[in-house]
Structure 1
Amino acid sequence: MKKIIIFLFFVLLMASGIRAQQTQYMVFDFIKVENDQIFDYIEYKDLMEKVYRQALNDDKIKGWDFWALQSGADQSTFQYITITYYNDPVKMMNGLDESTLIDYTKIAYPHLNDAQVAKLFQNALAIKDTPMRLYMQEIVSTDDNFQMKPGVLASFDLMKAYEGKFQQYEEAETEVFRPIHQSRIEQGLMGHWSFLRTALPLGSEAKSTHLTLNMYKDYMQFFNAQAYEDLNQTAAQQKAVNEGLNSRDQKWVYLATLENVVR
Structure 2
Amino acid sequence: MRKLTLLLLALCFNTALVFGQEKKYMVFEFMKVETGNTINYMDHKDFLERIYKKAVEKGDISGWDFWSLKSGTDSGEFQYVTVTYYEDPVKMMNGIPLNKLVEYGKEVYDTLNEQQLTKMLKDAETSRDLAVRSYMEEIARTDTEFEMKPGVLASFDLMKAVEGRFEEYEAAEKEVFQPFHQKRIDNDLMGGWRLLRTALPFGSEAKSTHMTMNFYRDYLQFFNSMEYEDLEASEEDKQAVERGLQSRDQKWVYLATLEKVVR
Establish whether TM, by shorter chain, passes 0.5: yes
Alignment partner of 2:199: what SS? strand
Alignment partner of 1:116: what SS? helix
Give 2:125's aligned residue: 125
Equivalences for 1:100-179 in 2 at 5 Å?
100-179=100-179
Equivalences for 1:1-263 in 2 at 5 Å?
11-74=11-74, 76-200=76-200, 202-263=202-263
CA distance in 1, matches of 2:186, 2:8: 34
Deviation at 1:96, TM superposition (A): 0.7
Q: Which runs of 5+ in 1 are unaligned?
A: none
Letter in 1 for 2:158: L
Letter in 2 for 1:245: L
The 8 Å contact of residues 154 and 255 in structure 2, kept in 1 or not, is answered as yes
Q: Which runs of 5+ in 2 are unaligned?
A: none
* Distance change (3 Å), C-alpha of 1:6 and 1:221: closer
CA distance in 1, matches of 2:102, 2:75: 30
CA distance in 2, matches of 1:77, 1:106: 35
Residue correspondences, number: 263
The 8 Å contact of residues 155 and 215 in structure 1, kept in 2 or not, is answered as yes
Deviation at 1:161, TM superposition (A): 0.5
Deviation at 1:9, TM superposition (A): 5.3
CA distance in 2, matches of 1:143, 1:164: 30
Deviation at 1:7, TM superposition (A): 6.5
Letter in 1 for 2:193: W
Runs of 4+ in structure 1 over 3 Å off: 1-15
Alignment partner of 1:200: what SS? coil
Say which is worse superposed, 96-105 or 245-254, in terms of deviation.
96-105
Deviation at 1:95, TM superposition (A): 1.0
Letter in 1 for 2:15: A
CA distance in 1, matches of 2:11, 2:184: 33
The 8 Å contact of residues 135 and 201 in structure 1, kept in 2 or not, is answered as no
Alignment partner of 2:261: what SS? strand
The 8 Å contact of residues 102 and 118 in structure 1, kept in 2 or not, is answered as yes
Q: CA RMSD in A?
A: 1.7
Deviation at 1:130, TM superposition (A): 1.0
Letter in 2 for 1:204: S
TM value normalised by structure 2: 0.94
Deviation at 1:200, TM superposition (A): 2.5
Deviation at 1:158, TM superposition (A): 0.2
The 8 Å contact of residues 140 and 195 in structure 2, kept in 1 or not, is answered as yes
